[in-house]
Structure 1
Amino acid sequence: MTVPTPHINAKEGDFHKTVLMPGDPLRAKYIAENFLSEAAEVTNVRGMLGYSGKYKGKNISVMGSGMGIPSISIYSHELYSFYGVENIIRIGSCGGYSEDVNVNDVIIAQGACTNSNFMSQFHLEGTFAPIADFELLLNTFNKAKELGIDAKVGNVLSSDNFYAQGSEGWKKWKDLGVLAVEMETAGLYAEAASLNKKALGIFTVSDHFIYTDTILSSKERETKLNDMITLALETFAE
């Protein structure tokens, strides 16, 4: 396969080495318009927008991933395999599980559990544990401390289910120390591992399974996601 790929219509060289990847393509547009200079749209297949530009004079790209492991696996695979991308940083919201995290907190995903069957493609005689690249994780954690952001580091769950039909299985994940739930990171980490690339997930807790009386409003979500976006840009723009 050559570029453009079936799902990305960018030209060769349009993407920088590091891509920030929110789930929502409109969030990618928001980042490009509000944080980047010299931002240019480089892909728009199926409305999945991607941009390249500069942050404080340094190169960075941003592109939506859609929702769920199947979606992010397609875009990350094509970016890694055909566009020379080395690092993908998932940035998004998550639902808190642990008493140790609160709404508004930033979580850096050291590892990503999953209830998905995605790993079966590797035909392993066991269970693969999808983890972040340590250098990306360490750099982000240190930058968070520098910026005064109290980031929590730990395990998240990448769930195939957003609506779990009344299940309280989340409590079992919580009991194993899982901090929060989202829907993509395990697939991203597996793609990165299989292609010898690097990946990291950074999240803002937007709601909580225990502290259910605290949910971010749309305005609050925008402000707090801005903190996470700034952390990612300050760490990874090159």
Structure 2
Amino acid sequence: MNHLAASELILNPDGSIYHLNLRPEHIADTILLVGDQNRVEKITQYFDEVEVIIKKREFHTQTGTYKGKRISVISTGIGTDNIDIVLNELDALVNIDFQTRRIKEEKTSLNIIRIGTSGSIQKEIPVDSIVVSELAVGFDSLLHFYQSDDVQLQDFNEALENHLQTYVRNSKPYVVPADPSLVQKFLTPDVYPGFTGSNVGFYAPQGRVLRLPLRDDNMKDKLANFSFKRKKITNLEMETSAIFGLSKMLGHKALSLNAIIANRATGNFTKDGALAIDNTIRFTLERLTSA
């Protein structure tokens, strides 16, 4: 393959990748993704040491060790558009030679785990619990820009389209699975298995109304009532589907862990969101370093 043009693989003057401002030596093979840049230090406070601290825009990276395991924590900001940047640039850091601008013949596979907040749409999943996403459905259009049909679960796609009957100008939903080996490692009796919906916005796309009316007043209920192959959509957020889809296409392993801070079915909201997030962080770190 010819080398990648400067307009496609964009590097900073110091040789770092354009948006993340990272060089290959700055990241570990295990990556924890968070939306909020202030949450990075909520994780690395538990590290034995931190060797890398780099910030650019909303992207804040810290790399260090926890119980001897090297881990990177990176903030992505909100939305699948930011995930498109982060996942492609993380892959470039390990699978493209920045000197020759050529794709490496031998590929590196990363473990990419999202730690995020989310709202449940099922009554039986209470606030302050943890959902481990086995599946994700994207209601954005990101994966449709890639040759991604092979990583999508087409039977789920069709069932969702038929059930939701969404507005013709909306994007068609796409369903992608988490990495099964990571699911097996993190799915303990203390957490809930999940089918996570990733929405293109926080308000209307998730059925919230403040002052603007919704095109489909029943969208949230239709999402909650969907069932296919004994799988129900459990919670809504804004990143997981893109993480699963891009990771699978690029040959990385991905998982999403969701701290449930709201239950949309009951109207409840956590009384201590910081504690719910901290519990999810500590659960993640312990599972990562367990035998």
Instruction: Give, in whole Å, the separation in 1 of the partners of 2:28 and 2:122.
Output: 36
* Alignment match of 1:115 (pick from 123, 130, 139): 139
Secondary structure of the structure 2 residue equivalent to 1:153: strand
Largest Rg, 1 or 2: 2
Change (3 A) 1:12 1:151: same
Partner of 2:195: 155
Secondary structure of the structure 1 residue equivalent to 2:35: coil
Displacement after TM superposition at 1:47 (Å): 3.8
Partner of 2:56: 45
Partner of 1:54: 65
Displacement after TM superposition at 1:121 (Å): 1.0
Partner of 2:122: 98
Superposed counterparts of 1:13-28, under 5 Å: 13-28=25-40
Which structure 1 segments of 5+ residues have no match? none
Deviates more, 1:226-235 or 1:100-109: 226-235
Partner of 1:224: 276
TM-score, scaled relative to structure 2: 0.73
- Amino acid of the residue matched to residue 133 of structure 2? A
Instruction: Give, in whole Å, the separation in 2 of the partners of 1:233 and 1:138.
Output: 15
Displacement after TM superposition at 1:96 (Å): 0.8
Do residues 185 (structure 1) and 196 (structure 2) align? no
Secondary structure of the structure 2 residue equivalent to 1:13: helix
Instruction: Give, in whole Å, the separation in 2 of the partners of 1:121 and 1:158.
Output: 17
Instruction: Give, in whole Å, the separation in 2 of the partners of 1:108 and 1:233.
Output: 14
How many residues align structurally?
228
Partner of 2:46: 35
Contact (CA 8 Å) 1:18, 1:237: kept in 2 or not?
no
Secondary structure of the structure 1 residue equivalent to 2:73: strand
1:6-47 Cα deviation digits (max 9, x unpaired): 111222211110011111011012212x21121134421114
- Amino acid of the residue matched to residue 215 of structure 1? F
Change (3 A) 1:221 1:85: farther
Do residues 173 (structure 1) and 223 (structure 2) align? yes
Instruction: Give, in whole Å, the separation in 1 of the partners of 2:143 and 2:22.
Output: 28
Instruction: Give, in whole Å, the separation in 1 of the partners of 2:289 and 2:25.
Output: 16
Which structure 2 segments of 5+ residues have no match? 1-8, 95-107, 158-173, 227-231
Identity, % of aligned pairs? Answer: 24
Superposed counterparts of 1:49-88, under 5 Å: 49-83=60-94, 86-88=110-112
Displacement after TM superposition at 1:124 (Å): 5.9
Do residues 215 (structure 1) and 269 (structure 2) align? yes
Displacement after TM superposition at 1:61 (Å): 1.1
Instruction: Give, in whole Å, the separation in 1 of the partners of 2:252 and 2:147.
Output: 20
Contact (CA 8 Å) 1:115, 1:158: kept in 2 or not?
yes
Contact (CA 8 Å) 1:9, 1:42: kept in 2 or not?
no
Displacement after TM superposition at 1:60 (Å): 1.1
